[in-house]
Homo-oligomer: A and B are copies of this chain.
Amino acid sequence: MTYCVGLRLDRGLVFMADTRTNAGVDNVSTFRKMHSWVVPAERFVTILSAGNLATTQAVISLLEERSKAMGERNPSILDQPSMYQIAALVGATLREVIAVHGTAGQKAESFNATLIVGGQVAPGPPRLFLIYPEGNFIEASQDTPFFQIGETKYGRPILVRAFDPAMDFADAVKLLLVSFDSTIKANLSVGLPLDFQVYEADSYRVGVERRIGPGNAYFAELSEGWGEALRRAFASLPPFDLHG
């Protein structure tokens, strides 16, 4: 499995992804699930991927190739006039890859994948999309200002309760780390290191980008502190009257 989140804040976008992939429990590897494209002063695009690794790598490779090979520049992620068109191109590429793998040779259990695509193409605003295996997609809105893909359930309650679109980037990263910590504690298929990336609106470049590894002191402090803080929060609630 995998766990990835994209947040749409008032001041920009924040992305986080784990790096664990596994085929069974004894074939565990680390792969980057976050990929970015930048054209200074014009566009910034980041894709997070969850699902079949062969599928997501093929999608990223196709999008990469198409953005580099001169003879085959169209359709290219760098040529699309808007984030909406980029989401449509990514969706079409995903559907194409799944269709090719899904019909050729042996049937695997699933070639499915789900993607989060976020970014900004001038002069539009930053936008965030969730792309389904069928190639269609939905966009984040005021009502649904974040998307999760992969192993989404364990880390959702804290996002639902503590997310605020007005929060600053440092708080957003802290919130994501808590959400990922809850997931990692509960599910073996999601693991460190975690990649995160901050995109400030109208900057058209990758902002702070870092990898949080197993030795990260802040993450260890957060993980331990969160357990303690949760127990304090629980104790602070009024007691239940068993005989009331």
Contact = CB atoms under 8 A, between A and B. Distances in A.
A58 B6 CA distance: 45
Nearest to A218: B240
Contact of A236 (B198, B221, B229, B243): B229
Given A230-B233, A236-B229, A157 B154 contact: yes
Interface stretch (A33-41, A113-121, A167-175): A167-175
A154 B182 CA distance: 10
Given A160-B185, A185-B160, A233-B232, A225 B198 contact: no
A194 B188 CA distance: 30
Contact of A230 (B162, B222, B231, B241): B162
A174 B236 CA distance: 11
A24 interface: no
Copies assembled: 2
A161 B223 CA distance: 11
B158 A156 contact: no
B240 A174 contact: yes
Contacts of A171: 239-240
Contacts of A174: 234, 237, 239-240
Contacts of A31: none
Contact of A231 (B157, B161, B231, B242): B161
A234 to B, nearest CB: 5
A122 interface: no
A104 to B, nearest CB: 28
A83 B236 CA distance: 37
Nearest to A219: B240
A158 to B, nearest CB: 6
Contacts of A173: 240, 242
A105 interface: no
Given A158-B230, A218-B240, A229-B233, 7 more contacts: A153-B154, A160-B185, A161-B226, A162-B231, A218-B241, A229-B236, A230-B230
7 contacts: A154-B156, A157-B186, A174-B239, A174-B240, A177-B240, A198-B242, A232-B236
